[in-house]
Chain A
Amino acid sequence: MSVETKSSEKILEAVNAAIEKFGAKQEELIPILNEVNRQLGYIPTEAMEEISRRLKEPKSSLFGVASFYHMLSTKPRGRHVIQFCESAPCHVVGGREVFEALKEELGLEPNETSPDGKWTLITTSCLGVCSVGPVIVIDEDIYGNVDARKVPEILARYE
């Protein structure tokens, strides 16, 4: 897979920015990891080591936190992350068809990243916008009332 792994410089930059924003305190660990994850798309080992050094927290406990939460990824992700809501209210209004269409259009199974590094497909827990289900989220854009036919058109909006 030729998913872009980040250069050391970029990683350091992201870690520095996150620590500057929240402070080098243990209780800010989750916001820091979230921020790095948002900036880089995932939390590289190098970033983990740098945060561990700066917060004076063992790497093991950092990894424990990073692997506990669904939204933090320790593996590289694509430029755009598609989250598909797999909860019951979306499921019963045609979510399954949308998911099939997504998988087919992207050629991906959940938790996979496309070879060109453009897309990552993941599932998410309920987003609470059940009355406009089925729902997908691409990066930070929410799409409601999605049906299988709309999928190619929505995906085409992303570079």
Chain B
Amino acid sequence: MKYYRSHVLVCVDPECLQKGAHELVDALQDELVATGLIDEVQVLETSRIGGCSLGPEMMVYPEGVHYVGVTPDDVPYLVEEHFLKGRVVNKFQMPTTKVVDEELGAPTQKEVRIVLRNCGKIDPENIEDYIAEDGYQALAKVLTEMTPEEVIDTVLKSGLRGRGGAGFPTGKKWQFTRQAPGDIKYVVCNADEGDPGAFMNRRVLEGDPHSVIEGMIIAAYAIGAHQGYIYCRAEYPVAVSTLNIAIQQARNLGLLGKDILGSGFDFDLEVRMGAGAFVCGEETALIASIEGRRGEPRPRPPFPAVQGLWNKPTNVNNVETYANIPQIILKGAEWYASYGTEKSKGTKTFALAGDLNHTGLIEVPLGITLREIIYDVGGGIKDGKAFKAVQIGGPMGGCVPAEYLDLPLDYESLAQAGTIMGSGGMIVLDEDTCMVDVARYFMDFTQDESCGKCTPCRVGTRRILEILTRICDGKGQDGDIELLENLCQEIRTNSLCGLGQGAPNPVVSTLRYFRDEYEAHIYEKRCPAKVCRALIRYEILPDACTGCTVCARNCPVNAISGERRQTHVIDPDTCIRCGICMQVCNFNAVVIE
């Protein structure tokens, strides 16, 4: 292995590629050759570092200097200053005060990075980078010093729970699979991250694939499996290719395959791709899909731990769960359990989205309050608006209102508040959000993704969507709320899998905390947040209108009338509520009533 005094990591995410990341890499290589530094400085390609919106961006190690906006023309100067003279070029440094749109920035004080620790720091396509960060040491420890029972015991003691959302203790699952009768067993990684807006697993797969692979080998050793599958959704082609490269590299080093590290333990891995079906994130549906069938769930029990892939005992864990394992083995169960609460140990990644100042990926210790996440990590609500609710847990999750801001984030507290931990999607909603509309959006999603196997979910979600749509359209009827409550109850208790059982959650939670909004829609034909188009009216304030005619000229349906320099008027019957008049008015004279 060659040694370099400096490493330059250039981000090649779609955004930086568009801004010329490849040209930058080429220019750097050429300049390093020209200056004779090519044996001292290595240029690598990596995924996002956090400044793509100012891209192309690059990170220079060991100094940890983050440069953005470097063009090929700047390269000779930069190479001379930084690598020949050893001076940091300030004008290209990432501005530290300005927080830009980022997927994964520098961790804030409240964050603890275990799963994301290597993301953006190492070259995911080079196994040596991972090994340099203590990679595969946990595997070596397990294979040489620990019995399978000791491994399971460590995972049990760490308190790690399933990060896919349901929160089943990982060690217990491993124990069940190990104890299940049968010679052939499988480990499966659920990388079918389908919740809209949740991309934590993609980031780990693309930024640190070996942590997942190492976690899976350790799991296989613990339960006695020799074959594993990573089921990755087809919407993540980059993750699939990174994983395949990583698996091949691990095989080449004897970390996968026969007689791993000379221990006599055999294990190999294969990536299976989905073909676009949200329900395949449910473990029995996922198994059906790996077997080459329609991805439809089946009743449990028997659980996969007893009867899974090809009816053999199978351990199914999420990407994040596996990625935690090597660190737990290396640093010990007590270390891991020192983060979190009594029943929810360790850290959890979340994808923050919505009306926040800083959106992106975070990793926080469990037990942190929602207030800390939203205001300290997320930088508070955008444009100084008021917080209204946070939607946690994806389409099967619920909305939690302001009175729960000090709720500690753990599996039990979230369940009490009417939502779930979920895989880690967190959408923050400000005062301008209509909660009925939010419920309708999620029901539209679930209704579309229902696989159709069981009636409560297939028909029930459609009926709920119809009712919510008519409420938003101003056609809500007396009794709709009770009907919704009834339907939700039926669907929750009678559906086959987690998708159907969780589908009513967005409706139930908004009914619980924002019932007044439903009532305003139904009985007063009013949308308090002024979102539902059928229930709002655009009006022009006579005092503010200057009669400039800009609104009338832009109205697509000619609903605005008025002479030049005279107050204009909107005809509510013709108006289609597109809001263009409001956008084009220079005097803020158009308001929503």
Task: Give CA–CA (A110, B273) in the complex, Å.
Answer: 25
Contact of B196 among A27, A69, A88 (CB under 8 A): A88
CB contact under 8 A between A33 and B275, given known A89-B197, A130-B351:
yes
Task: Give CA–CA (A145, B195) in the complex, Å.
Answer: 21
B101 & A131 in contact (Cβ 8 Å cutoff): yes
Chain A residues with Cβ under 8 A from B273's Cβ?
30-31, 34
B14 & A142 in contact (Cβ 8 Å cutoff): yes
B359 & A131 in contact (Cβ 8 Å cutoff): yes
Mask, A137-159, CB within 8 Å of B = 1, is 00010111100000000000000
B441 & A68 in contact (Cβ 8 Å cutoff): no
B199 & A143 in contact (Cβ 8 Å cutoff): no
Among A31, A61, A88, A92, the most chain B Cβ lie within 10 Å of the Cβ of A88
CB contact under 8 A between A30 and B292, given known A129-B14, A140-B237:
yes
B15 & A128 in contact (Cβ 8 Å cutoff): no
A65 & B197 in contact (Cβ 8 Å cutoff): no
A126 & B14 in contact (Cβ 8 Å cutoff): no
A70 & B359 in contact (Cβ 8 Å cutoff): no
Verify if B277 is at the interface (C-beta below 8 Å from A). yes
Chain A residues with Cβ under 8 A from B427's Cβ?
88-89
Verify if A111 is at the interface (C-beta below 8 Å from B). no
Task: Give CA–CA (A145, B16) in the complex, Å.
Answer: 11
Chain A residues with Cβ under 8 A from B293's Cβ?
29, 61, 65
> A27: nearest residue on chain B (CB-CB)?
B292
> B206: nearest residue on chain A (CB-CB)?
A128
> A33: nearest residue on chain B (CB-CB)?
B275
B353 & A130 in contact (Cβ 8 Å cutoff): yes
Verify if B193 is at the interface (C-beta below 8 Å from A). yes
> A140: nearest residue on chain B (CB-CB)?
B237
CB contact under 8 A between A125 and B14, given known A27-B292, A71-B275:
no
Task: Give CA–CA (A126, B353) in the complex, Å.
Answer: 13
Chain A residues with Cβ under 8 A from B103's Cβ?
131
Chain A residues with Cβ under 8 A from B275's Cβ?
30, 33-34, 69-72
Which B1-35 residues have C-beta < 8 A from chain A?
13-15, 18
B193 & A128 in contact (Cβ 8 Å cutoff): yes
Which A47-65 residues have C-beta < 8 A from chain B?
61, 64-65
A88 & B289 in contact (Cβ 8 Å cutoff): no
Verify if A39 is at the interface (C-beta below 8 Å from B). no
> B238: nearest residue on chain A (CB-CB)?
A142
A27 & B291 in contact (Cβ 8 Å cutoff): yes
A89 & B196 in contact (Cβ 8 Å cutoff): yes
Chain B residues with Cβ under 8 A from A30's Cβ?
272-275, 289, 292
Which A105-127 residues have C-beta < 8 A from chain B?
124-127
B199 & A128 in contact (Cβ 8 Å cutoff): yes
Question: What is the distance, in angstroms, from A39's C-beta to the closest C-beta of chain B?
Answer: 15
Chain B residues with Cβ under 8 A from A45's Cβ?
none
B197 & A144 in contact (Cβ 8 Å cutoff): no
Verify if B202 is at the interface (C-beta below 8 Å from A). yes
Verify if B278 is at the interface (C-beta below 8 Å from A). yes
Chain B residues with Cβ under 8 A from A26's Cβ?
291-292
Task: Give CA–CA (A34, B101) in the complex, Å.
Answer: 35
Question: What is the distance, in angstroms, from B327's C-beta to the closest C-beta of chain A?
Answer: 24
CB contact under 8 A between A128 and B198, given known A30-B289, A34-B234, A68-B295:
yes
Which B207-221 residues have C-beta < 8 A from chain A?
none
Task: Give CA–CA (A28, B290) in the complex, Å.
Answer: 8
Verify if A74 is at the interface (C-beta below 8 Å from B). no
Task: Give CA–CA (A34, B18) in the complex, Å.
Answer: 28
Verify if B194 is at the interface (C-beta below 8 Å from A). yes
Question: What is the distance, in angstroms, from A98's C-beta to the closest C-beta of chain B?
Answer: 15
> B236: nearest residue on chain A (CB-CB)?
A128
B276 & A126 in contact (Cβ 8 Å cutoff): no
Verify if B471 is at the interface (C-beta below 8 Å from A). no
Verify if B102 is at the interface (C-beta below 8 Å from A). yes
Chain B residues with Cβ under 8 A from A92's Cβ?
354
Verify if A87 is at the interface (C-beta below 8 Å from B). yes
Chain B residues with Cβ under 8 A from A71's Cβ?
234, 275-276
B235 & A125 in contact (Cβ 8 Å cutoff): yes
Verify if B337 is at the interface (C-beta below 8 Å from A). no
Task: Give CA–CA (A159, B437) in the complex, Å.
Answer: 41
CB contact under 8 A between A130 and B292, given known A69-B275, A125-B235, A144-B14:
no
Among A28, A61, A131, the most chain B Cβ lie within 10 Å of the Cβ of A131
Question: What is the distance, in angstroms, from A70's C-beta to the closest C-beta of chain B?
Answer: 3
Verify if B294 is at the interface (C-beta below 8 Å from A). yes
Task: Give CA–CA (A143, B193) in the complex, Å.
Answer: 20
Which B289-327 residues have C-beta < 8 A from chain A?
289-296
Task: Give CA–CA (A124, B276) in the complex, Å.
Answer: 8
Task: Give CA–CA (A76, B290) in the complex, Å.
Answer: 26
Question: What is the distance, in angstroms, from A100's C-beta to the closest C-beta of chain B?
Answer: 11
Task: Give CA–CA (A32, B383) in the complex, Å.
Answer: 50
CB contact under 8 A between A131 and B196, given known A72-B275, A144-B15:
no
> A145: nearest residue on chain B (CB-CB)?
B15
Mask, B424-448, CB within 8 Å of A = 1, is 0001000000000000010000000
B294 & A126 in contact (Cβ 8 Å cutoff): no
B294 & A68 in contact (Cβ 8 Å cutoff): yes
Task: Give CA–CA (A79, B291) in the complex, Å.
Answer: 31
Chain B residues with Cβ under 8 A from A129's Cβ?
14, 199
A28 & B18 in contact (Cβ 8 Å cutoff): no
A69 & B197 in contact (Cβ 8 Å cutoff): no
> B360: nearest residue on chain A (CB-CB)?
A131
Question: What is the distance, in angstroms, from B350's C-beta to the closest C-beta of chain A?
Answer: 13
B15 & A127 in contact (Cβ 8 Å cutoff): no
Chain B residues with Cβ under 8 A from A145's Cβ?
15, 18, 53
CB contact under 8 A between A130 and B295, given known A27-B290, A30-B275, A71-B276:
no
Task: Give CA–CA (A64, B292) in the complex, Å.
Answer: 11
Task: Give CA–CA (A156, B293) in the complex, Å.
Answer: 39
A125 & B294 in contact (Cβ 8 Å cutoff): no
Add 13 more A-B contacts to A27-B290, A92-B354 (CB < 8 A).
A64-B294, A65-B293, A65-B294, A68-B295, A72-B276, A88-B197, A88-B427, A125-B278, A126-B198, A126-B235, A128-B198, A128-B199, A142-B14
A-B contact pairs, 15 of them (CB 8 A): A27-B292, A69-B274, A70-B277, A88-B441, A124-B235, A125-B196, A126-B198, A126-B199, A128-B193, A128-B198, A128-B236, A132-B15, A143-B18, A144-B18, A145-B18
A-B complex: 4 closest residue pairs judged by Cβ atoms: A70-B276, A69-B275, A128-B199, A87-B196
